[in-house]
């Protein structure tokens, strides 16, 4: 029996829903910005409709992207870069932990209230359970990483040093731009949800523009867009 379409109860076409979700997640746009862009294309929807679509279909699209990519990504020879960033929720500081591989692919995002050994351990266990163990783990000099890696028996694989973790720190920039457009977050669950979806969508459309010729980049970009248009298809 074929799997029922997730769009079966919606009058709007799946193409428009996918476009709205992509615009909102991928680019630093507000809900009303997306509404205006769709209106310019002759599509009349409210910003609250865009919000509903993002909450309903964003995690669904991200899950399918991860499912398609994770088998090819699994490798014990990877060099991981780990870093944490401060994110305020209702004025209270929280921490978004991120694992990035040597090519800039965001492997895992994890939100905690603290950045102690316990939080680092939960983050590392979650990442390794999904992607296996890397050969080298690059971190900053936060002691929580060393303590957590020692408990996992992977402390010999840790590498620290000046500028060696720029890969992870630079990966925060797209999320920071997106965070400012959203005017911050109000709940940990919302932050975790958006961080996970944003990472998957960014990975999907990240074509390493500076590392390929223009024709190759255009072909890869077109392929990524075609694949996006086929997500959760009937």
Chain segment 58-110, per-residue pLDDT in tens = 999 999 998 887 665 555 457 899 999 999 888 889 999 999 988 888 999 99
Query: 127-143 burial, b if ≥16 CB within 10 A, otherwise e?
Result: bbeebebbeebbbbebe
| Phi, psi of 4, deg, nearest 5 | -65, 145
From 150, 152, 146, select the one nearest 129 (Cα to Cα): 152
Residue 128: pLDDT over 50: yes
Three-state secondary structure call for residue 210: helix
Rounded to an integer, what distance in angstroms lies between the CA atom of residue 71 and that of residue 130? 10
Rounded to an integer, what distance in angstroms lies between the CA atom of residue 108 and that of residue 99? 5
Rounded to an integer, what distance in angstroms lies between the CA atom of residue 80 and that of residue 160? 12
Specify whether the CB–CB gap between 202 and 195 falls below 8 A.
Answer: no
- DSSP per residue over 136-189, as a string? EEE--S-HHHHHHHHHHT-GGGEE--TTTTHHHHHHHHHHHHHHHHTT-BS-HH
Tens of pLDDT, residue by residue over 155-208, are: 899 999 878 888 888 889 889 988 888 877 889 999 999 999 999 999 999 877
Residue 119: pLDDT over 80: yes
For the chain, domains (ranges, CATH) are 14-72+207-229 (no CATH), 74-186 (3.30.420.10)
């Amino acid at each position: 029996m074929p799997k029922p379409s997730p769009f079966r109860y919606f009058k709007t076409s799946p193409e428009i829903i996918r476009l709205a979700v992509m615009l909102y997640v991928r680019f630093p746009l507000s809900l009303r910005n997306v509404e205006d862009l769709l209106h310019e294309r002759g599509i009349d929807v409210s910003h609250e409709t865009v919000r509903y679509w993002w909450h309903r279909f964003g995690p669904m699209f991200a899950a399918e992207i991860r499912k398609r990519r994770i088998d090819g990504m699994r490798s014990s020879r990877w060099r991981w870069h780990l870093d944490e960033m401060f994110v305020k929720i209702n004025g209270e500081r929280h921490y978004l932990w991120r694992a990035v591989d040597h090519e800039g692919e965001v492997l895992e995002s994890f939100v905690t209230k603290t950045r102690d050994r316990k939080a680092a351990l939960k983050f590392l266990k979650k990442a390794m359970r999904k992607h296996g163990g890397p050969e080298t783990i690059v971190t900053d000099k936060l002691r929580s990483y060393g303590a957590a890696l020692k408990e996992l028996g992977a402390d010999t694989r840790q590498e620290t040093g000046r500028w060696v973790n720029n890969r992870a720190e630079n990966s925060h920039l797209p999320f920071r731009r997106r965070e400012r457009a959203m005017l911050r977050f109000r709940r940990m669950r919302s932050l975790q949800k958006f961080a996970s979806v944003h990472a998957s969508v960014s990975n999907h459309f990240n074509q390493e523009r500076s590392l390929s010729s223009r024709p190759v980049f255009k072909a890869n970009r077109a392929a990524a867009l075609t694949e996006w248009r086929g997500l959760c298809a009937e």
